[in-house]
Structure 1
Amino acid sequence: MTKIAVHMTGGIAVYKAVEVVRGLQKQGHEVRVAMTQNAARFVGPATLAALTKHPVLIDQWAATLNGQVPHIELADWSELSLVVPATANLLAKMAAGLADDAVSATLLATSAPKIVVPAMNVHMWNNPATQRNIAQLRQDNVMVMDPATGMLAEGYAGKGRMPEPAAIVKQVQDYLTNGPLKGKTLVVTAGGTREALDPVRYLGNRSSGKMGIAIAKAAANAGARVELIVGSVSVALPHSDRITVTQALSTSAMAAAVSDKFQTADALIMAAAVADFRPAVLADQKIKKHGDGTLTLHLVPTEDILAKMGAQKRSDQVVIGFAAETNDLLHNADAKLQKKNADAIVANDVSEPGIGFGTDDNAVTILRPNQAPLRWSRQSKMMIAEKIVALTANLLKVGD
């Protein structure tokens, strides 16, 4: 099941979009709807609200019960955005990055994959401006479904007619089931591990799990089956038929889970912040203050999961690690790349404000053996995740 936001714009074909919503629901997807004011002139929002059991987003300034910004809440909820019908005006807004209504603002804010279904008069479709906008959207990795040729609302035939609802639903299903990682299995780790000191306390870190969970979602959207192994996380876990979640709070538990899952997987993406040390002795009772109140801990190294998997990986498997650094980013990350026998290291400076642990954004540098560093500037973790998944597909030589 995929969370699909259907965005309806003000073309006469919008009445057929109601059938698209029903068709997606019959496929088991959860659907919510956003409409432009002009779309609401053709189809009443009450119809869509009744079908989806969710309020229809029309006014981006509408109040919500929990105080969230409506178009941002829908943007974050979406796992796929479908624009049907997509008018020439909406295509132009998307291509230019405009956000002056609820639909265009949500589409600009979401990191979910996008499919647009243009529907308009043949002359509008053939206009050079529209074709430039279509080319820009495709360059931006938006899937554009070609309009059909047939009788138009104006009473003559031409290209620009919206495809039939069943064809649109099939296009969505094909996209969701035939991604670049279809047939592949990825092991993804997320969150931080905890090393117990006593029954009450533990050594931990600030990892929220956002990056790893975003990678799991992106991999599932790309058609992969995902084995998500999570430590301590502070965000909601994904719910998808393609994602299996295993909890492993300690480094030893995560090592065991990764070792087990990776045997039959195609790739491992180690996004978890794994503890490097654990107490040499685990106290069986809560540690009390004694004497001057100071406490000396004797720490020993934990198992190096990434190095172990890098050493064991087969020639047809890919291992990608993360390097969260606070200084000498490229030097430390390159050393990790060599030492761990990884196919790539995703390096990020967690000392920079606004990126890294607990934030929604990240900025990373990709290091690969015998290749120049690849720098991805600050952007949402979901966008970074999609690029990491595309990198994984490339390393797996998908399509070769």
Structure 2
Amino acid sequence: MSASPTLEGRRILIIVGGGIAAYKCLDLVRRLRERGAAVTPVMTRDAAQFVTPLSLGALAGAKVYGELFDRDDEHDVGHIRLARDADLVIVAPASATRLAKMAAGIGEDLAGAILLAATVPVLAAPAMNPAMWAHPATRRSVATLRADGLHLIGPNRGEMAERGEAGEGRMAEPLEIVAAVEAILAPTAAAGPLAGRHVVVTSGPTHEPIDPVRYIANRSSGRQGHAIAGALAEAGARVTLVSGPVVIPDPAGVAVVRVETAREMLAAVEAALPADAAVFVAAVADWRTEGAAVEKIKKGAGGPPSLALFENPDILRTVGTGPRRPALVIGFAAETQDLLANAGAKLARKGADLIVANDVSAGTGVMGGTRNTVALVSREGVDAWPDLSKDEVARRLVAEIVRRLPPETPR
């Protein structure tokens, strides 16, 4: 069965970068064309080491561009024309080098010149070794690009091309990228009740390292936070999702910033501000060790090692009481006892407008499950909701955000 023409009449320019994941772009081009898009391919020199221009051009049904100083193409300033003739630009795979060049505004090749000239949305699908993705330089590049309005999809977790390597760095799958394109270009998004609003959402657990193989964490799957981020995007909001380590797909149409620790999550949230609203769903680890051991801690005759624990920053309180506080701040309270009392205390103590309280006691199945039973605690009182799917909780909470968000918020 053929795909529905969700991208009929849309013009997509795809910049295929160097990397083993370039082979996925052949399927990506096919999927885009199935949905009615006209695809213009651009290949970097490194990309030609992994896929051929002949294959890419055949699937796109269009000429493949590659050189900035091409005599035939540049007679009419071709790189400007390519940038302006598209409705959206995809960069896939986006290597660490390409992300760094984009962040620095380097236009030394055709791909870089197009990206500098583009006035349309740009969607990047990073792909690289997990160590490169986690490197501070790459994190700075991503933070800069996200602040500039770039859309990101992935990377995903999984096996790498290198034998024995696994982690976060696999390029998003073609259908995930297509879904992100559809969300970005969806004509209904601009008419949504949250059109023009920016919302920051945190999701998943944080991992606080003890040594190279052990860490302090919790059982959060990220399903509720990701569902909320997706529902906000469907309502027209520009969403920045700051996610701890999860194994679920990114929601469509959402800019994702991936972090590991509580301190990284706080830094990413602060970098995402200003925002109209913030929803803190992540189950942040309260404690971290003084410093992670460089080598794996071995068993010894002296018994278990002594771990000195230090309190992590309180992200909800830092933002809820800080000078760059969004107009609407929502926190989550995952409790195993005295649910409403603890949620009410959290509301007052952390400067939130609303606390979503949920019971995560053993046997509820909330942590890692697909359903949730929550109560909304505010200064007006308590609104208890029935047992719902996490997707339905997300939709109802977005409706509450629409109701509570002031018509105009400070920038």
Q: TM-score, normalised by structure 2?
A: 0.54
| Aligned residue type for 1:181 | L
1:179 aligned partner: 192
Query: CA contact under 8 A between 1:355 and 1:363: conserved in structure 2?
Result: no
| Aligned residue type for 2:300 | H
3-state DSSP of counterpart to 1:327? coil
Cα deviation, residue 234, structure 1: 2.4
2:64 aligned partner: none
In structure 2, how many angstroms separate the alpha carbons of the residues matched to 1:315 and 1:280?
29
1:383 aligned partner: 392
1:22 matches 2:33: no
Deviations 1:113-134 (A, max 9, x none): xxxxxxxxxxxxxxxxxxxxxx
| Aligned residue type for 2:190 | T
Cα deviation, residue 355, structure 1: 4.0
3-state DSSP of counterpart to 2:246? coil
Alpha carbons of 1:361 and 1:222: their partners in 2 closer, same or farther (altered >3 Å)? same
Cα deviation, residue 209, structure 1: 0.6
Alpha carbons of 1:396 and 1:326: their partners in 2 closer, same or farther (altered >3 Å)? same
| Aligned residue type for 1:254 | M
Query: CA contact under 8 A between 1:180 and 1:398: conserved in structure 2?
Result: no
2:316 to 295, 306, 310: 306
1:203 matches 2:216: yes
| Aligned residue type for 2:369 | T
In structure 2, how many angstroms separate the alpha carbons of the residues matched to 1:193 and 1:185?
23
1:345 aligned partner: 355
In structure 2, how many angstroms separate the alpha carbons of the residues matched to 1:245 and 1:272?
14
| Aligned residue type for 1:252 | R
1:64 aligned partner: none
Query: CA contact under 8 A between 2:343 and 2:357: conserved in structure 1?
Result: yes
1:249 aligned partner: 260
Cα deviation, residue 387, structure 1: 1.2
Of the two, which has the highest radius of gyration? 1
| Aligned residue type for 2:333 | A
Alpha carbons of 1:27 and 1:201: their partners in 2 closer, same or farther (altered >3 Å)? same
Structure 2 unaligned spans of 5+: 13-32, 37-184
Cα deviation, residue 254, structure 1: 0.3
1:221 aligned partner: 234
Deviations 1:336-392 (A, max 9, x none): 1110010100100011635421111111000112x1201111111011001111111
Q: TM-score, normalised by structure 1?
A: 0.56
2:272 aligned partner: 261
1:271 to 265, 277, 281: 281
Cα deviation, residue 238, structure 1: 2.2
3-state DSSP of counterpart to 1:312? coil
Alpha carbons of 1:316 and 1:255: their partners in 2 closer, same or farther (altered >3 Å)? closer
Cα deviation, residue 52, structure 1: 6.2
In structure 2, how many angstroms separate the alpha carbons of the residues matched to 1:319 and 1:383?
20
Query: CA contact under 8 A between 2:319 and 2:325: conserved in structure 1?
Result: no
Cα deviation, residue 175, structure 1: 3.3
Alpha carbons of 1:358 and 1:23: their partners in 2 closer, same or farther (altered >3 Å)? closer
- Pairs within 5 Å for 1:288-327: 288-312=298-322, 317-327=327-337
Cα deviation, residue 394, structure 1: 1.7
In structure 2, how many angstroms separate the alpha carbons of the residues matched to 1:239 and 1:209?
15
In structure 1, how many angstroms separate the alpha carbons of the residues matched to 2:303 and 2:282?
33
3-state DSSP of counterpart to 2:395? helix
3-state DSSP of counterpart to 1:252? helix
In structure 2, how many angstroms separate the alpha carbons of the residues matched to 1:315 and 1:354?
33
- Pairs within 5 Å for 1:101-140: none
3-state DSSP of counterpart to 1:384? helix
In structure 2, how many angstroms separate the alpha carbons of the residues matched to 1:238 and 1:202?
26
1:233 matches 2:242: no
| Aligned residue type for 2:393 | I
In structure 1, how many angstroms separate the alpha carbons of the residues matched to 2:261 and 2:395?
28
Cα deviation, residue 176, structure 1: 2.9
2:203 to 190, 195, 205: 190
Alpha carbons of 1:185 and 1:200: their partners in 2 closer, same or farther (altered >3 Å)? same
Deviations 1:260-290 (A, max 9, x none): 112x211110110001010123222211111
1:372 aligned partner: 381
Alpha carbons of 1:390 and 1:399: their partners in 2 closer, same or farther (altered >3 Å)? farther
Query: CA contact under 8 A between 1:354 and 1:361: conserved in structure 2?
Result: no
* Matched positions, count: 241
Query: CA contact under 8 A between 2:189 and 2:195: conserved in structure 1?
Result: no
In structure 2, how many angstroms separate the alpha carbons of the residues matched to 1:196 and 1:298?
13
In structure 1, how many angstroms separate the alpha carbons of the residues matched to 2:248 and 2:5?
31
| Aligned residue type for 1:383 | E
| Aligned residue type for 1:331 | A
Moved over 2 A (4+): 20-29, 50-53, 172-177, 292-296, 313-316, 352-355, 397-400
Name the stretch that deviates more: 314-323 or 293-302: 314-323
1:393 matches 2:391: no
| Aligned residue type for 2:402 | A
3-state DSSP of counterpart to 1:260? helix
Deviations 1:133-184 (A, max 9, x none): xxxxxxxxxxxxxxxxxxxxxxxxxxxxxxxxxxxxxxx9553321110000
3-state DSSP of counterpart to 2:367? coil
3-state DSSP of counterpart to 1:324? strand
| Aligned residue type for 1:256 | A
Query: CA contact under 8 A between 2:228 and 2:391: conserved in structure 1?
Result: yes
Alpha carbons of 1:208 and 1:316: their partners in 2 closer, same or farther (altered >3 Å)? closer
